[in-house]
Amino acid sequence: MGLTGLEIFKHLPKTNCKECGFPTCLAFAMALANGKTSLDQCPDVSEEAKEALSSAAAPPIRLVKIGTGDKVIEIGDETEIFRHDKRFNHPTAVTIAVNDNEDVGTKVETVNELVFERVGQRYEVDMVAIINASGDAATFKTAAETAAAKTDKNITLVTDDVGAMEAALGVVADRKPLIYAADKDNYEKMTELAKANGCTLAVKGEDLNSLAELVDKVVALGYKELVIDPGSRETSKVLADMTQIRRLAVRKKFRSFGYPTIAFTTKEDLREEMLQAGVYISKFSGIVVLKTDKKEHLMPLLSWRENLFTDPQKPVAVEPGLHEVGEPTADSPVYITTNFSLTYFLVEGEIDSTRIPSYIISVDTGGISVLTAYADNKFTAEKIAADIKALGLEDKVNHKKAVIPGGVAVLKGKLEDESGWDILVGPREANGIQKFAKSNFA
Amino acid sequence: MIIIGERINGMFRDIAKAIREKDPKPVQEWAQKQEAMGAGYLDLNVGPAVPERVPAMKWLVEVAQEASKLPLCLDSTDYDAIEAGLEVCKQPAMINSVPAIADKMDRVFTLAQKFDAEVIGLAMSEEGIPKDAESRVALSMELVANCDAYGVPVDRLYIDPLVLPANVGQDHGPEVFETLRQIKLLSDPPPKTTVGLSNISQGTKNRELLNRTFAVMAMACGLDSAIADACDEELVAAVATARVILNMDIYCDSYVDVFRNQNL
Amino acid sequence: MAVEIMKEKYRSSVREVVLGATKDEGGTRSHTIKVGGETTLPFLHFEGDIPNRPVVAMEVWDVVPEDWPASVKGFFEDVYNDPAAWAKKCVDEYGADMIALRFKSADPDLKDASAEDCVPTLKKVLEAVGVPLIVYGCGKTEKDNNIIGPLAEAAEGENLLLGVAEQENFKPVASAAMASKHSVIAQSPIDINIAKQLNILISELSTPLLERIVIDPTIAALGYGIEYSYSIMERARFGALNGDRMLAMPMIGNVSQEVWSKKEAFLEEGEPTWGDQAERSLAWEAATSMALLQAGMDILVMRNPESVKIVKKQIDDLMQDNSY
């Protein structure tokens, strides 16, 4: 939505001169709000008004890119405070920091190894941030070069020294790294570097007011590919600042904060750091930079990110078909369920806990749950029987017994007819599977 | 939608008598009855037959707020009476109402600013009530601009697009709904909206049916409140239902009871 | 442009629930704990009051938990056989704010213990620790309905937090709470409408009990649907602050119970990319708690002392004032 009638009216001279063809400025403002005229009809409108009107049509938080190619990171373009109102669009870019005065090559290789597979998804870290801990431009440059050579992940360059940044850009500019950061002392030169190299620029304030001021200055220099840092570093303060930035951008169209944000962890203890990063992912950070390179910490963080950024309006589905829990044999039990993620993983988890290797047939119900699918005629005896056949179960197991969810016990008879298999009626709830398996398959 | 309970009005005999005899009981009983049915405000109107409106309004305010914690809606065209009422209100009240006429807006918005009051603004001018939505919206815009100019937050303005009875102004109905929708685009935050619900059924049959049907249809167009019969059980149930359908209240099986009992 | 800080002003607040009772109040706790009372969204101190910090309850069972991972057994090996000593260790050594006592022995598939068998354990635990208690049955509804009354009676005046009342089965626990002056966990199956309706049903049984309800929305573990619970909690909490009295209660989550049954927590081998089980398990549990805190969880029921430690530290950080 563009500006409202009242907002437009406030920018007008209120002389009612009628040059625009409307009897009053108020009438003109309303017509403009409804797209029935154009601002240039008014001879007396200010530059500020023109700027306000054009920027009003832009999304509340700019979409910015870091990196190139198929691994390019997109952040920003958010419109919500709560995911349940619509969804969060662009998952937080999780970034691991590497100091330029440590063994950069080894650390970067460790980061490359941080790949996890679970529930049919592949998770990895998005970026490596090279920190100019040495204070030396040459060291920084070497570190950037080493890192770029050893990873195809995207890169953030962290230094407040323009000389060092320039040196590093000299070797990695083609990777379109994030330039961190412009501050009140170096922003003119940093903005120039960002412009010249076509890189997104981070802008760091000391607090919200100084951040807004600095963003305006950078924008006045003609650059808008920005990521913003409110400067706070304590968990509670960061939470407050990120909340303010998101609220002001989305609800008040406060243009100075209309950019994605970046947060840095500060906890020394890696476990505590993991939780700190988790808060930042939860609350509105476009990028989170952390030190830990431990799989055990990153796996839950990346899973949480995945969960938070799923679209609440789309049921999450798993690949339909035959799944194995453990290493099933020809004697192993066969369970039948839908391909709604929540259902599937609950069932799979419970079957796992039975410690009895089994097969699961995940029937394609379009990603909806057992009872809903049954009511919708998407979980039928015919379909299940067809799946049993198509998935070759009759060659995989030497029995002809399958378990259906207790909620659709009514399907037993028909399914037995359709498939020629013996159908066992399982528990209504997944948490009954352990007991069921104990009684039937132990 | 918030219901502004309409019963305490001097046009009802029991209230007129109470005002005449300075008997608080009928006023207080109606205040409590409307509160128990989930009303959000109590409208207070001294009625047409009162010689001295200023002391009468003052008395109504004092007596009503003794019995109920609901905010009050002072209903009069006599702004001296409104001012007298505002002076004794224990909490911010609502001024009912002001048309889009310059000197009246001047008086009322000044009062609203002074007493931190909400204001019902009528989308009409000296020329009366326009028919088409565009004209109603233009008058609404006047109210919004004036409200803002006097430093009253625009979301404390409730615009009444003015409802005519279905058997008389039947062609106004669709215009009113369109007006309600467009009012929400006038400013950010937008003004709120209200109607005198009983007006849709003035002089018709099936009064309650007309009232509650209009109410839920208008809610879908953004109606925030209505001056209405808070003791009409079916109206209250319909409003509760519309709130759930519009995702304004979280559903639960007893949602009608929850809405009705909200003040208890 | 100067920044105009946006502060929300909400119409209403979350109810404050007191747990436990001291000598003056008819119990034997050394102190009571208050949960809830928030006047704004989680940890936004700059615009409201968060009078009570979220708390961590540690689980104690009245049977040895055979299935708990080896990495955690080490913390409790010396006390697994003695619920009182186990509870004491949780409070004294591991910083538990409350104890969540589960009478697993009552499970017909385990020991099928009777209420008479369970009461002495409850008394011993009450004697061993001064913190408020949460009391759960074995998780099998029919059996729990039989034991909750006697347990409640035996601890009359202690203001236990009794679990659980459900929509289809709320009378036994709610009545026990009414009769013996305890508080109630109202549990719903990841369904906000049922959560709301259940509170109404309980209030119809006893209006004063409305002030002693803690909502359990049922949490799903991180990676297993946590976002459903998260969004229900955010919607409920937002409703609570905007006049929805029937959702304006503090919330409790069974973190470890959900997390520990998942592969990520217990699997020792088989997934080479997953790293060390002990570290991963505690991280999964702590991260689940972290996320739930951001959605307004007031009581976290946890098991691993190492997770408890870092979660409590984060709560310290989150309770720091962030006013402008």
Does C49 have pLDDT greater than 60?
A: yes
The full set of domains in chain B, from first to last, is 1-34+46-91 (no CATH), 95-231 (3.20.20.20)
pLDDT confidence band for A1 (50 / 70 / 90): very low
Sequence ranges of the domains in chain C? 16-318
Interface of A with C in 296-325 (CB under 8 A): 296-297, 299-301, 303-304, 306-308, 310, 312
Instruction: Provide the edge-to-edge strand list for the sheet that holds A401-404.
Output: A321-325, A358-363, A334-338, A401-404, A422-425
Average pLDDT over residues A127-140: 97
Binning pLDDT at 50, 70 and 90, where does residue B138 land?
very high
Give the residue from A187, B221, A296, B61 showing the smallest Cα distance to C265: A296
Same domain, yes or no: A223 and A325: no
B250–C200 CB contact, under 8 Å: no
Q: Is the residue at A313 inside a domain?
A: no
Q: Is the pLDDT reported for residue C265 higher than 90?
A: no
Q: What is the mean pLDDT of residues C257-278?
A: 77
Residue B203: pLDDT above 50?
A: yes
Give the CATH number for residue A53.
1.10.15.40
> What is the rounded average pLDDT for all residues in chain A?
92
Q: Please check whether residues A132 and A259 belong to one and the same domain.
A: yes
Arithmetic mean of pLDDT, C22-29: 96
Contacts of A274 in chain C (CB under 8 A): 283, 286-287
Say what the pTM is: 0.87
Given an 8 Å threshold on Cβ–Cβ distance, is C196 in contact with B257? no
Q: Do A239 and C43 touch (CB under 8 A)?
A: yes
Verify that A143 and A209 share a domain, yes or no: yes
Contact C193 B253 (CB under 8 A): yes
pLDDT at C66 exceeding the cut of 90: no
Question: How many beta-carbon contacts under 8 Å exist across A and B?
Answer: 35
State the pLDDT confidence band at C269, using cuts at 50, 70 and 90. low
Indicate which of B144, B148, B154, B250 best probes the interface with A, i.e. most A CBs within 10 Å of its own CB. B144
Q: Show which of A41, A57, A73 is a domain's final residue.
A: A57
Confidence at B200, pLDDT banded by 50, 70, 90: very high
* C275 — pLDDT class (breaks 50, 70, 90): confident
Q: Reduced to 3 states, what is the DSSP secondary structure of residue C185?
A: strand
Local confidence band at A40 (pLDDT 50, 70, 90 cut-offs): confident
**C chain contacts of residue B251, beta-carbon cutoff 8 Å:** 193, 196
CATH superfamily membership of C16-318: Dihydropteroate synthase-like (3.20.20.20)
Chains that touch B (3 or more CB pairs under 8 A): A, C
Residue A314 lies in a domain: no
pLDDT band at residue A35 under the 50/70/90 scheme: confident
How many domains does chain A fold into? 3
Q: Which residues of A touch C290 (CB under 8 A)?
A: 275, 278-279, 282, 304
Q: Which residue of B has its CA nearest to A85?
A: B247
Same domain, A230 and A361: no
pLDDT tens for residues C138-184?
988 899 999 999 999 999 999 999 999 999 999 999 999 999 999 99
- Smallest CA–CA distance, residue C295 to chain B, in Å, is 17
Can you give the pLDDT at residue A371? 84
Let me know: does B163 contact B196? Beta carbons within 8 Å.
yes
A189 and A99 within one domain: yes
Smallest Cβ distance to C244: which of B249, B254, B257?
A: B249
Task: Tell me the residue range of the domain where A419 lies.
Answer: 321-441
Residues B143-160 pLDDT 10s? 999 999 999 999 999 999
Q: Under a CB-based contact definition with an 8 Å cutoff, are residues A387 and A352 in contact?
A: no
**Pair A294, A397 in one domain:** no
Query: Is residue A92 located within the same domain as residue A50?
Result: no
Tell me, yes or no, whether A212 and A290 share the same domain.
Answer: yes
- Assess whether pLDDT exceeds 50 at residue C289: yes
Average pLDDT of span B228-238: 97
CATH code for position A201: 3.20.20.20
Tell whether B188 is within 8 A of chain A (Cβ). yes
The tokens describing C277, both together, are 């089980």
Kindly state the helix (H) or strand (E) to which residue C57 belongs, with its residue range: strand C55-61
| B91 in contact with chain C, both atoms CB, cutoff 8 A | no
Q: What sign has the CA pseudo-torsion A327, A328, A329, A331?
A: positive
Kindly tell me if the per-residue pLDDT of A75 is higher than 60. yes
What does the H/E/C string look like for chain B? CEEEECCCECCCHHHHHHHHHCCHHHHHHHHHHHHHCCCCEEEEECCCCCCCHHHHHHHHHHHHHHHCCCCEEEECCCHHHHHHHHHHCCCCCEEEEEECCHHHHHHHHHHHHHHCCEEEEECCECCECCCCHHHHHHHHHHHHHHHHHCCCCHHHEEEECCCCCCCCCCCHHHHHHHHHHHHCCCCCCCCEEEEEHHHHHCCCCCHHHHHHHHHHHHHHCCCCEEEECCCCHHHHHHHHHHHHHCCCCCCCCCHHHHHHHHHC
For residue B247, the chain A residue with the least C-alpha distance is A85
Q: What is the pLDDT of residue B210?
A: 96
- The answer on A362 and A256 residing in a single domain is no
Between strands A121-124 and A115-118, the pairing is antiparallel
Distance from first CA to last CA of chain A, Å, rounded? 63
Which of C194, C200, C235 lies at the smallest CB-CB distance from B258?
C200
Q: What pLDDT, on a 0 to 100 scale, did the predictor assign at position C270?
A: 60
Domain identity same for A127 and A264: yes
A339-376 pLDDT per residue, tens: 988 788 878 878 887 889 999 999 998 888 888 888 88
Residue A76 structure tokens: 């920003």
Chain B closest-CA separation from residue C145 CA (Å): 25
Q: Is A117 in contact with C276 (Cβ distance < 8 A)? A: no
- Give every CB contact of residue A330 below 8 A, 6+ residues apart in sequence: A396, A397, A398
Nearest one of B254, B43, B232 to C244, comparing CA atoms = B254
The verdict on A53 and A68 lying in the same domain is no
Mark out chain A residues that contact chain B at CB-CB < 8 A: 1, 4-7, 9, 26-27, 29-30, 33-34
The reply to whether residue B250 touches residue C197, judged by beta carbons under 8 angstroms, is: no
Q: Is the pLDDT of residue A2 over 70?
A: no
Predicted confidence band of residue B195 (pLDDT cuts 50, 70, 90): very high
Residues A132, A35 within the same domain: no
- Looking at CA atoms only, how far is residue B42 from chain A in angstroms? 31
